[in-house]
């Protein structure tokens, strides 16, 4: 761009700002104050404080996950409501009813080594946990995913797992 055109553009811009009453100084001051307010303002918390019911639901799910290495089917099933549902992965239909869930869990329970809970949070009656489930003696060595639990009256009504990754070892 030629120096003459650049000068003309600058003058037009300056006249335009002056005709609106906005000066360069006032623009910079406004932007600076806005940035200072944004940086200096207290940040809102990322997560709401958990209610007592949410804390209790998290504890139930954590206790449920901790029960698996015992291979005690009755203990594991004691966490479920009578009208429960369990979906092993997003690609399968849920097993519905206490007996169907019991039968499905029985089919792989002896291969469970541990449920490693990585992170857990709750919203109302829903508990979401990220886990690595470790297995021995079968085709699956490790399942990494997210479990979504719906609880009612301190019992698991629905448990659906969603896969992030698998290690077939």
- pLDDT tens track for 74-95: 999 999 999 999 999 999 999 9
Residue 141: pLDDT band with limits 50, 70, 90: very high
Residues 112 and 29 in one domain: no
Q: Is residue 107 part of a domain?
A: yes
**Average pLDDT of the residues in 21-34:** 45
Residues 64 and 139 in one domain: yes
CA dihedral (137, 80, 164, 144) positive or negative:
negative
Residue 143 reports pLDDT greater than 90 = yes
Residue 96: what pLDDT? Answer: 98
**Average pLDDT of the residues in 84-108:** 97
- pTM for the full model? 0.72
Q: Which domain holds residue 106?
A: 52-167
**Average pLDDT of the residues in 27-49:** 47
**Average pLDDT of the residues in 130-135:** 98
Q: Is residue 47 part of a domain?
A: no
Q: Are 2 and 8 in contact (CB under 8 A)?
A: no
Q: Is residue 100 part of a domain?
A: yes
Residue 48: pLDDT band with limits 50, 70, 90: confident
Residues 69 and 135 in one domain: yes
Residues 107 and 160 in one domain: yes
Strand segments, DSSP code E, in the chain are 80-87, 95-96, 112-123, 126-135, 142-152, 155-167
Residues 14 and 85 in one domain: no
**Average pLDDT of the residues in 106-119:** 97
Mean pLDDT of the chain: 83
Residues 100 and 148 in one domain: yes
CATH number at residue 107: 3.10.450.50
How many independent structural domains does the chain possess? 2
Cα distance between residue 113 and residue 131, in whole Å: 13
Residue 138: what pLDDT? Answer: 87
Residues 30 and 113 in one domain: no
């Amino acid at each position: 761009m030629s120096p003459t055109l650049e000068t003309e553009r600058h003058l037009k811009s300056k006249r335009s700002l002056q005709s609106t009453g906005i000066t360069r100084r006032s623009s910079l001051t406004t932007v600076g104050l806005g940035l200072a307010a944004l940086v200096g303002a207290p940040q809102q918390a990322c997560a709401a404080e958990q209610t007592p019911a949410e804390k209790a639901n998290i504890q139930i799910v954590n206790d449920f996950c901790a029960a698996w290495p015992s291979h005690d089917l009755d203990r594991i099933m004691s966490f479920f409501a009578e009208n429960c549902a369990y979906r092993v992965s997003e690609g399968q239909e849920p097993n519905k009813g206490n007996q169907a869930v019991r039968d499905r869990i029985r089919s792989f329970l002896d291969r469970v080594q541990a449920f490693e809970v990585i992170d857990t949070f709750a919203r109302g009656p829903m508990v979401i946990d990220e886990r690595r489930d470790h297995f021995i003696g079968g085709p699956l060595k490790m399942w990494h995913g997210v479990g979504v639990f719906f609880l009612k009256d301190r019992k698991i009504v629905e448990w659906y797992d969603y896969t992030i990754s698998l290690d077939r070892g």
